[in-house]
Amino acid sequence: MATINAQPHGEPHGGPGHDIDAAKRPMWARYKHGHHFRTQDDEFDACKTGMWLFLATEVLLFAGLFMSYTFFRYKYPEAFANGSNYLDWRWGGLNTVVLLISSYTAAMAVRNAQLDQQKALQRNLLITVVCGALFVVIKAVFEYGPKWAQGKRPGEWFSYPFAHDAMEPAWWSVYYSATGIHALHVLIGMALLYRCYLRAKRGAYGPTHYTMVENAALYWHLVDLIWIFLFPLLYLIH
């Protein structure tokens, strides 16, 4: 999948005669890789390696949150076992479905770019962004909002009168920190994908150049994957 087809790499540096044709070629075909890379393939590989490394840092960032979750679950078993009872698995489940669909469309977008299917590329990018927005709206309107109103808040803000356990504020601290930081990542991913969409409209991506789409999709899959872990840990385990 990673290879870039056709297009001899020496060509972009050709003589002036080529430039007249070049103006007629779509934006993606006119792309010139960074002068410090030997070939466009090299650049693509480098960008992808960089993205994977960045994803590793994201995994480690969330590892800190998962560690806190494990630590507090072990420390306050009662409060944590009860915590998931406060969450409605149906909202969580719906959001899981929304994200899975968006991951599929993100993957399709990459495929579309590789096959020069410009319309489908734009459509799939847009669907992905809309799904991201839907996720955030569901989270904010149906989950954070009502819970906050009932006093189910983190740390010092906690004021829920019917708590079963004195350590419930700690549960909410972990819940809000983990899902909040995840939601922030959803927003960043949406911004990236939307930027891809805008550039895709100008024909920036195609078979020989789709690095940004590929990387944004990778990032989106990671955001999705983290939710796949958060969902059972927070909503399903009693």
Partner 1 sequence: MTTIDTSKARDPHGDHGHGHHDLPYLAGKGGFFPTLIDWMTTVDHKKLGVMYLVAILTLFFFGGVAALLVRMELLDPVRIAADGTVTGQLLYSNPEDVNAGNVWYNRAFTMHGAIMVFMVIVPGIPASLGNFFLPLMLGAKDVAFPRLNLLSWYIYLLGSVFGILVILLNGVDTGWTFYTPYSTTTDAGHWRVVYMILAAFILGFSSILTGLNFVVTVHKLRAPGMGWFDMPLFVWGIYATAVIQVLATPVIGITLLLLIFERVFRVGIFDPALGGDPVLYQHFFWFYSHPVVYVMILPGMGVISEVIAVHSRKQIFGYRAIAFASLGIAGVAFIVWGHHMFASMSELGSVVFSALTFLVAIPTAVKIFNWIATMYKGSIALTTPMLYALVFLFLFAIGGLTGLPLATLSTDLHLHDSYFVVAHFHYVMFGGTIVAMLAGLHHWWPKMTGRDYNATAANICCLLVFVGFNVTFFTQFFLGTQGMPRRYASYPDEFQLLHQISTLGSWILGLGFMGHLAVFIWSIAAGAKAKDNPWGALTLEWESDTPPTEHNFAHEPVLTHGPYDYETTVPPKWDPKDWPLPDPAKVAAVHRDHH
Residues that bind partner 1 (CB under 8 A): 13, 34-37, 42, 45-47, 49-50, 53-54, 56-58, 60-65, 67-68, 71-72, 75-76, 154-157, 167, 169-170, 173-174, 176-177, 181
Q: Are 184 and 65 in contact (CB under 8 A)?
A: no
Beta carbon nearer to partner 1, 76 or 102: 76
Could you identify the residue written with the tokens 């939307």? 194
Residue 217 in tokens: 């999709």
Please give the Cα distance from 217 to 199 (Å, whole number): 15
**Residue nearer to partner 1 on the CB measure, 63 or 236:** 63
Torsion of CA 186, 187, 188, 189, to 10 degrees: 50
Q: How far is the CB of 57 from partner 1 (least distance, A)?
A: 4
Q: How far is the CB of 171 from partner 1 (least distance, A)?
A: 9
For the bound state, the minimum distance from the C-beta of residue 119 to partner 1, rounded and expressed in Å, comes to 31
How many residues are there in the chain? 238
**Residue 82 backbone dihedrals phi, psi, to 5 degrees:** -80, -25
Q: With beta carbons less than 8 A apart as the criterion, state whether 227 and 99 touch.
A: yes
Least Å distance, CB 123 to partner 1, is: 30
CA–CA separation, 131 vs 137, rounded Å?
10
What DSSP character marks residue 37? S
Whichever of 72 and 197 has its CB closer to partner 1, that residue is 72
Beta bridge partners of 18: none
Q: Compute the least distance from the CB of residue 97 to partner 1, in Å.
A: 28
Nearer to partner 1, 65 or 108 (CB): 65
Q: Closer to partner 1 at the Cβ: 20 or 60? A: 60
Closer CB to partner 1, residue 39 or residue 115?
A: 39
Shortest CB 159 distance to partner 1, Å: 12
**13 exposure class (CB count in 10 Å sphere: 0-12, 13-18, 19+):** exposed
C-alpha 81, offset from chain centre = 29
